[in-house]
A = this chain, B = another copy of it.
């Protein structure tokens, strides 16, 4: 038992990252059932839908389930209250100030984890009374820190400057990379892309099949000048690139905003339009060559961790 497994009441220091359109009740419940922490990604859900997912997850497992709430959405307060009213006790907040909801959530007896991409943000979280931090490196899928700090650089730095539990994210998809993250000082890992590639995730079948053919250069970070986001390279991302080459300053922002429109992520990830959709995925995707059940994945991760540990020399 370590600091993170104790904090959440789980068996393994493995957390499934909340992902828009991908991590609903089915995935979260499967992860919690397997001994990790499953998280419902509320980012893409109206409060009613979130409520349905939470209720469904609770019928699937009695183990702890968390909810991830991106604070920039206007409905964040409603989402928080919905989850609280349904008995959710673990909140992962992201994309906003850790001060915004921490007191409120803790006042309701919840555990609060905030996602950061710099050591300075981690310190702000500790000061705001957050219970643990997810430090997410540049290699992670989806929205990303502006400073491009990689997991290898970020985790030891965050470890040095906070005392609360530290969860590493970004580029982690195997027992070997879990061992690496723990070596760097993390107490646990959060994986998104690896869990997207399981049978229980809601990612569209076409999307999962496409991802099986990924190479090391299949993802890139786009919109660095506005809201950096790591995407799978496709027609949509090429169009983003072209806009980024053709426009600059305010005109760039306007063009990007227009082109993005709404529901591009839903179109790609949930509905499987691999050309016109926005496909958020981490750089580690090229390491992933199967679509196991969550239960099978846990067996693989635990086995590979042990193998990595056994291969390490005791001293250099």
Q: Which of B138, B178, B217 contacts A150, CB < 8 Å?
A: B138
Alpha-carbon distance between A181 and B184 when the two chains are bound, in angstroms: 10
Chain B positions within 8 Å of A137 at CB level? 150, 152
The total of chain A residues at the interface (CB under 8 A) is: 59
CB–CB B154/A151 < 8 A: no
Copies in the complex: 2
CB–CB A150/B156 < 8 A: no
CB–CB A170/B147 < 8 A: no
Output the nearest chain B residue to A305 by Cβ-Cβ distance: B316
Within 8 A of B (CB), among A1-20: 2, 12-14
Give the segment of A93-101, A261-269, A279-287 that binds chain B. A279-287
Alpha-carbon distance between A153 and B315 when the two chains are bound, in angstroms: 25
Q: Is A23 an interface residue (CB 8 A)?
A: no
Q: Is A124 an interface residue (CB 8 A)?
A: no
- If the complex has contacts A184-B180, A248-B245, are A157 and B316 also in contact, measured as CB distance less than 8 A? no
Chain B min CB distance to A191 (Å):
12
Q: Is A185 an interface residue (CB 8 A)?
A: yes
Output the nearest chain B residue to A308 by Cβ-Cβ distance: B183
Output the nearest chain B residue to A284 by Cβ-Cβ distance: B153
CB–CB B183/A156 < 8 A: no
Chain B positions within 8 Å of A183 at CB level? 176-177, 179-180, 183, 308-309, 312
Chain B min CB distance to A272 (Å):
25
Within 8 A of B (CB), among A273-316: 283-284, 286-287, 301-302, 305-306, 308-309, 311-316
A119, A181, A315 — which one has the most chain B CB atoms within 10 A of its CB?
A315
- If the complex has contacts A152-B177, A216-B120, are A314 and B308 also in contact, measured as CB distance less than 8 A? no
CB–CB B287/A316 < 8 A: no
Alpha-carbon distance between A305 and B315 when the two chains are bound, in angstroms: 7
Q: Is A148 an interface residue (CB 8 A)?
A: yes
Chain B positions within 8 Å of A153 at CB level? 139, 171, 216, 283-284, 286-287
- If the complex has contacts A138-B150, A150-B283, A283-B153, are A118 and B178 also in contact, measured as CB distance less than 8 A? no
Q: Is A149 an interface residue (CB 8 A)?
A: yes
CB–CB A147/B217 < 8 A: yes
Q: Is A28 an interface residue (CB 8 A)?
A: no
CB–CB A306/B312 < 8 A: no
Alpha-carbon distance between A147 and B139 when the two chains are bound, in angstroms: 11
CB–CB A152/B171 < 8 A: yes
Chain B min CB distance to A232 (Å):
14
Q: Is A174 an interface residue (CB 8 A)?
A: yes
CB–CB A148/B284 < 8 A: no
Within 8 A of B (CB), among A132-185: 137-139, 147-154, 156-157, 160, 170-172, 174-185
Within 8 A of B (CB), among A167-210: 170-172, 174-185
Chain B positions within 8 Å of A171 at CB level? 150, 152-153
Q: Is A256 an interface residue (CB 8 A)?
A: no
Leading 10 A-B pairs by shortest Cβ distance: A152-B171, A179-B183, A180-B180, A150-B150, A180-B183, A153-B283, A139-B150, A147-B217, A151-B152, A153-B171
